[in-house]
Amino acid sequence: MAPVIALLTDFGTQDAYVGVMKGVILDIVRDVRVVDLTHAVGPQDLRAGAYVLWSAYRYFPDGTVFCAVVDPGVGSARRALALRLAADGRRYAFVAPDNGLLTPLLDSASLSAAVALENPRYRLPAPSATFHGRDVFAPAAAHLAAGVPLEALGPALDPQSLVRIDWPQPQRTPEGWHGCVLYVDRFGNLITNLPGTAIADGDWRVRVAQITIERIARTFADVPEGSPVAYIGSSGLLELGLRNGDAHALWGVAVATPVAATQRARDQGSRRD
């Protein structure tokens, strides 16, 4: 089976950037399948890129190489890296800037090796200061897919030295859980950092901003048209939305907005919105 390279960027599709990265990959290794995970990450939005990558990588075949480029520090002293992770019996390789984009992966998977992309043999000649996606990351991904050992790409890195961004963790409270909105998808659904396993049992009430949702539903169709709905989404996290509506736009709720889940048996006092 041909190797797989999955691309994630904030480049969009209006310009030629993504196409040029694919051209570089194919010039190095022809027998490869290139998958566009997404190129619609908001410009320089590391947390969104990190969430999308974390939520998607486990669904790819064993041996997939991920080339992830959300890189506000391109051309600076920030390192370029490649690493190997294992999860659910599968092994994956990632090439990315060392800027925290891989934070939730490092928290949830087993890291076996990490290197700095410093070997000039595995990058384009005279890399530009503004397009490392083309000159550094795409070539590294292609060479990995072609069978070049990770360790050949550059010197080993101490895993403890890898840059991490602030990744919000849910907090247990006497009443339930406190978390926040982690990501907003294109439908306006609010994806929180509260794991579904934490609220799998019992009767829960969820609050975000001035909105109170009285129970956890299974899916959108469990509530009337236009009504708020809380449910466990496909990534295993608690999500909040409107049936056939845009919760983000209507409620004015943004990333980092606090979310509280309260178990009714422990609920004290009456509802206040």
Strand partners, 83: 94, 114
Residue where a domain stops, chosen among 120, 135, 161 = 161
Q: Nearest 5°: CA angle at 248, between 245 and 252?
A: 125
Q: Which parts of the chain fold into alpha helices (H)?
A: 17-28, 46-56, 103-108, 132, 138-145, 247-251
pLDDT for the residue numbered 265: 63
pLDDT for the residue numbered 271: 43
pTM of the model: 0.93
Residue 36 sits in the same domain as residue 149: yes
Residue 177 sits in the same domain as residue 157: no
Residue-range definition of the domain harbouring residue 72: 4-161
Q: Answer whether residue 99 is part of any domain.
A: yes
Contacts of 60 (CB under 8 A, 6+ apart): 4, 6, 35, 66, 92
80-87 and 90-97 as β-strands: parallel, antiparallel, unpaired? antiparallel
Mean pLDDT computed over 87-112:
95
8-state DSSP, 148 = -
Tell me: pLDDT of 273 over 60: no
- Distance in Å from the first CA to the final CA of the chain: 56
Mean pLDDT computed over 96-105:
97
pLDDT for the residue numbered 266: 52
Tell me: pLDDT of 262 over 50: yes
Q: Answer whether residue 106 is part of any domain.
A: yes
Residue 110 sits in the same domain as residue 46: yes
CATH number at residue 23: 3.40.50.10790
- pLDDT tens for 175-187 read 999 999 999 999 9
pLDDT for the residue numbered 202: 76
Of 108-112, 156-160, 199-203, the range with the lowest mean pLDDT is: 199-203
Q: Answer whether residue 273 is part of any domain.
A: no
Residue where a domain stops, chosen among 108, 137, 161 = 161
Contacts of 172 (CB under 8 A, 6+ apart): none
Greater confidence (272 vs 130) lies with 130
Mean pLDDT taken over the chain = 94
Mean pLDDT computed over 254-262:
95
Tell me: pLDDT of 272 over 80: no
- pLDDT tens for 226-245 read 999 999 999 999 999 999 99
SS3 state of residue 46:
helix
- pLDDT tens for 219-228 read 999 999 999 9
Mean pLDDT computed over 100-129:
96
HSE-up (13 A, CA, CB side) for residue 109: 25
Mean pLDDT computed over 188-208:
92
pLDDT for the residue numbered 250: 95
Burial class (CB in 10 A: 0-12, 13-18, 19+), 256: exposed
Residue 108 sits in the same domain as residue 231: no
Residue 144 sits in the same domain as residue 179: no
DSSP assignment of 100-123: STTHHHHHHSEEEEEEE---GGGS
Residue 137 sits in the same domain as residue 184: no
Residue 230 sits in the same domain as residue 150: no
Q: Answer whether residue 133 is part of any domain.
A: yes
CA distances from 214 to 133, 180, 191, 261, 273 (A): 46, 18, 17, 10, 12
Residue 208 sits in the same domain as residue 254: yes
Tell me: pLDDT of 27 over 60: yes
Q: Answer whether residue 271 is part of any domain.
A: no
Q: Answer whether residue 272 is part of any domain.
A: no
pLDDT for the residue numbered 95: 98
How many domains does the chain fold into? 2
CATH number at residue 202: 2.40.30.90
CA distances from 106 to 53, 103, 157, 167 (A): 12, 5, 14, 11
Mean pLDDT computed over 132-160:
97
Residue 42 sits in the same domain as residue 124: yes
Residue 119 sits in the same domain as residue 43: yes
SS3 state of residue 181:
strand
Residue 81 sits in the same domain as residue 152: yes
Q: Answer whether residue 201 is part of any domain.
A: yes
Q: Answer whether residue 110 is part of any domain.
A: yes
Burial annotation 2-31 (CB, 10 A radius, 16+ → b, else e): ebbbbbbbbbeeeeebbebbbebbeebbee
pLDDT for the residue numbered 1: 80
Residue where a domain stops, chosen among 161, 193, 227 = 161
Residue 117 sits in the same domain as residue 200: no
